[in-house]
Amino acid sequence: MVAKQMHATFGIEPADVIKISAKTGKGVEEVLQAIIDRIPPPVGEPLDPLKAFLFDSSNDFLKLEESIKRLSLTDRSVEVTRETSSALGQGCRLGFLGTLHMDVFRQRLEDEYNADVIITAPTVPYKVLHRNGKDSIVSNPTDFPEPADFASGGRAKGVEEPIVKATIIVPEKYFSAMMELVFENRGTDLEWHALDADGDTSGDGRVLMTATLPLTEIVTDFFDKLKSRSSGFASFDYEDAGYQASDMRKMTFLLNGKPVDALALIVHADNAANIGRRWVDKLFKVIPRQLFEIPIQAAIGGKVLARRTLSAMRADVTAGLYGGHYERKMKHLNNQKESKRKMKRVGQVDLPQEAFFDLLSSK
């Protein structure tokens, strides 16, 4: 009967149907023999050396690079440089006019070229001073020396970060807000003078401010904050001013005890704790809850600076139990606890791409 139904539905000849029972094991030998008889063997020479296929994503990168080049033809303000990361593989370092510009470019890559990309936090080139007298330029946080490398006997002796000479022109009534913004972003050598005629007491006169700022402090949302605090009246310009010694550290973020290379940062030691807490709070809000709890940590070396734990989603395993049945309820709850412990041990945490933009907006 079954053979006739398969013939009517799929066109399989009844003589080709093998009667098998997975419950009793009947017909298993016939299946194995049919595999040998009906499926042709691989084509090749048995005595030749062994060969294997290696699958990688090199072609995917070439497609991504071509997509970026085509898209940059319509947006000449984007700078593109090929880069290879030991943690993330091949990629491109892109220069944008701000986080909004970056988000629009990323969205066009997805919509027009179907490119699903990983975007990391913006970085600047740091100069690492080595004890052997040689200097190296490091732009990728994964290549930045660990705290142990700066200890006595380590390979690195110091770090220099790029700085800029910034010029801000702002109406006088927003002058104090601009001073606060400069100092919040580690600004130094602040000078100012009035641009308008002497004796103007209306508060509408303009002030020209100059200051030295670290480049890393202005590459994300500095310009947005400047426009916000000045109601759009302030103008901002800067020029390269070389490098200066600075106490920079590599900060890593761990989800469920596993580091996320795409989130690694290079931060100043004085701001490390605040940045760590801020980013951990953001991650706590954007990471979807799992069936197991997720510890979110910000660490420098082996020292954890901030931590929050995302609680697990709770499934009521006792919903179908009625009456007393205390022992049965405890058995179900203990089984659930053990299952969550196992899931936490092997569980993977997926970080949504939208989380990166929320993080960058509050660096």
The domain of 214 spans 126-246
- The CATH number of residue 196's host domain is 3.30.70.240
Which parts of 74-174 fold into alpha helices (H)? 99-113
Same domain, 288 and 333: yes
What angle (nearest 5°) sits at the alpha carbon of residue 224, between those of residues 222 and 230?
Answer: 100
Structure tokens at 350: 């997926």
Contact 234, 211 (CB under 8 A): no
Closest CA to 218 of 144, 167, 293, 287: 167
Residue 144 and residue 205 share a domain = yes
Q: In this structure, what CATH number is given to the domain that contains residue 317?
A: 3.30.70.2570
Could you say which residues of the chain have pLDDT below 70?
8-10, 53-59, 85-89, 196-204, 314-363
- Go through 75-110 and write b for each residue having 16 or more CB atoms within 10 A of its CB, e for each that does not: eeebeeeeeebeeeebbbebebebbeebbebbeebe
Give the domain-ending residue among 79, 113, 147.
113
Q: What are 9-54's pLDDT values in tens digits?
A: 667 888 888 888 877 888 888 888 988 888 888 777 778 887 776 6
Q: Identify whether 182 is part of a domain.
A: yes
**Looking at the chain, which runs of residues are DSSP E strands?**
79-85, 89-95, 126-130, 135-138, 156-171, 188-194, 206-214, 235-245, 248-255, 258-259, 265-268, 294-300, 303-310
Strand partners, 294: 310
Q: Provide the 10 A C-beta neighbour count for residue 187.
A: 21
pLDDT at position 307 is: 93
Rounded to a whole number of angstroms, the CA Rg of the chain reads 30
Amino acid at 250: K
Rounded CA gap, 125 and 138, in Å?
5
Q: What is the pLDDT of residue 339?
A: 57
User: Which amino acid is present at 36?
Assistant: I
Residue 34's SS3 state is: helix
Contact predicate 190/167, CB 8 Å: no
Assess whether 198 and 183 both reside in one domain.
yes
Would you say residue 196 lies in a domain?
Answer: yes
Whether residue 23 is contained in a domain is answered as yes
Distance CA 50, CA 121 (A): 44
Residue 167 tokens, joined: 């010029």
DSSP 179-191: HHHHHHTT-EEEE
Tokens of 219: 């590459």
Query: Does residue 152 belong to any structural domain of this protein?
Result: yes
- Within 10 Å of residue 53's Cβ, how many Cβ atoms? 4
- Same domain as 194, residue 142: yes
User: Is residue 198 a part of any domain in this protein?
Assistant: yes
- DSSP label at residue 219: S
- 338-343: list long-range contacts, CB under 8 Å, 24+ apart: 340/291, 340/292, 340/293, 340/312, 341/292, 343/290, 343/291, 343/292
In a domain, 47, yes or no: no
- Residue 302: name the closest of 347, 332, 336, 257 by CA: 257
Asked whether residue 165 is domain-assigned, the answer is: yes
137 and 227 in a common domain: yes
Are residues 88 and 23 part of one domain?
no
Q: Is residue 262 part of a domain?
A: yes
Do 74 and 97 share a domain, yes or no? yes
Query: Which residues, 6+ apart, have CB-to-CB distance to 295 below 8 Å?
Result: 254, 255, 256, 257, 307, 308, 309, 310
How many separate domains does the chain show? 4
Q: Note the pLDDT tens digit of each residue in 143-169.
A: 888 888 888 778 888 999 999 999 999
CA distance 170 to 223: 13
Q: What is the reported pLDDT for 101? A: 83
